[in-house]
Amino acid sequence: MKLLGSFLLDFDIISPKDLADVMVEQIRQTPNSLDILYEKALITPEQFLSIVSLQNDEHLDLCSACIRLDIWRNDFFDVINEEVGKRRSTLGRLLVEKGLIEPHVLLPILKQYHVYRAENNNDFALFSENTLLDLNESEAEETAPNVHFDPDFSLIQSNDFSDYIDLFSEEKEIELELVILAIEALGSDKNEADPEELLNQFFTDYHSLKGTARTAGALLTENLIHESEDLLTFFKRFLHKINNADFAALAAINLKVLDVLSNLRNEMISSGAEEHYWAHAESREKYLKTLGDIKRFNEDMENRGFEVNLEDVQDLF
């Protein structure tokens, strides 16, 4: 299993010397585990001296020395990890702070590293669910407008769409449309709505729909909503940098998304499968066009001169 440092070297964006220098600083920032236990009053002065003496005499690690002295407790690990996390900067943060890697360069690498760790069955959560990049379900992104998406309907284990159809009722569709129109109005000088509240409400609705679609095996629906969530998370993260005109564009795209979702739902009701929707060239083209619009707008927003500052992404490292 590669560590992040080795992963960065593979991309040839940092020299071995710079990486080594940063790792040395990271080690210097790492508090001594024995010191932590003593500072937190988890061991007595006498136990502290006994551990130091045993480690010096027999070259034991802390855990082995404590076990030998019948001092070790399982919660020591939690306390040590918590304190190390507070006092030691992460590798990504140090690289950015020292100007060795720009944040906008580091973020895609971190994304791929997360995918790498996940594919190797490592329980590693780089980002929380509602952050800049939703990596747990990330697909390989391709530049719009030529979007390729090849759903494998043979993987579907359930074709019972009843729960999703109940959730995404016509009433719910109207409710979502009203929220989208309210988002469009955010660019108006007379608007009095709270942008953050509206985006959070819309994201929550989308997320509920996506979860139910996944349970039902609605691949097309789940994927489209997921891509829409990516765009929404960007708006949420950089809300203070969004122009008024961007809200109109966000609304326009989501009205297209809502239209496709409505068509997919109607196809589920009439034929009992999304596969029939995908089989029609016109429907498939409309789906891919909407998907491409989302990706293109997301990329435009990321590349349109927005400066990704350390303060914007520091919690992602």
Q: Is residue 118 part of a domain?
A: no
Could you give the C-alpha distances from 95 to 11, 299, 310, 312, in angstroms and in order?
A: 15, 24, 11, 15
| Structural domain containing residue 27 | 4-101
Nearest partner of 303 among 104, 154, 123, 160, judged by Cα:
104
In which band, very low, low, confident or very high, does the pLDDT at 222 lie, cut at 50, 70 and 90?
very high
Q: Are residues 162 and 266 in the same domain?
A: yes
Q: Are residues 218 and 297 in the same domain?
A: yes
Q: Are residues 312 and 225 in the same domain?
A: yes
Q: Is residue 83 part of a domain?
A: yes
Per residue in 173-212, pLDDT tens? 888 888 888 888 886 656 667 888 888 889 899 989 998 9
Q: Is residue 138 part of a domain?
A: no
Per residue in 223-274, pLDDT tens? 999 999 888 888 887 787 777 778 888 988 999 999 999 999 998 888 888 8
Q: Are residues 229 and 92 in the same domain?
A: no
Q: Are residues 220 and 303 in the same domain?
A: yes
Q: Is residue 222 part of a domain?
A: yes
Residues 6 or more apart from 27 whose CB is under 8 A from it?
none
Q: Is residue 109 part of a domain?
A: no
Q: Are residues 183 and 309 in the same domain?
A: yes
Q: Is residue 226 part of a domain?
A: yes
Q: Are residues 161 and 43 in the same domain?
A: no
Q: Are residues 74 and 188 in the same domain?
A: no
Residue 157 has pLDDT above 60, yes or no: yes
Q: Are residues 82 and 17 in the same domain?
A: yes
In which band, very low, low, confident or very high, does the pLDDT at 217 lie, cut at 50, 70 and 90?
confident
pLDDT confidence of residue 248: 84
We report the CATH number of the domain holding residue 282 as 1.20.120.160
Could you give the C-alpha distances from 84 to 81, 226, 295, in angstroms and in order?
A: 5, 35, 38
Q: Are residues 83 and 161 in the same domain?
A: no
* Axis crossing angle, helix 281-303 with helix 219-237, rounded to the nearest 10: 20
Last residue in a domain, options 79, 101, 123: 101
* CA pair distance 234, 298, nearest whole angstrom: 8
Nearest partner of 252 among 198, 297, 210, 208, judged by Cα:
297
What torsion, rounded to 10 degrees, do the Cα atoms 278, 279, 285, 286 define? Answer: -50
Q: Is residue 268 part of a domain?
A: yes
Q: Are residues 208 and 300 in the same domain?
A: yes
How many structural domains compose the chain? 2
Q: Is residue 177 part of a domain?
A: yes
Q: Are residues 91 and 157 in the same domain?
A: no
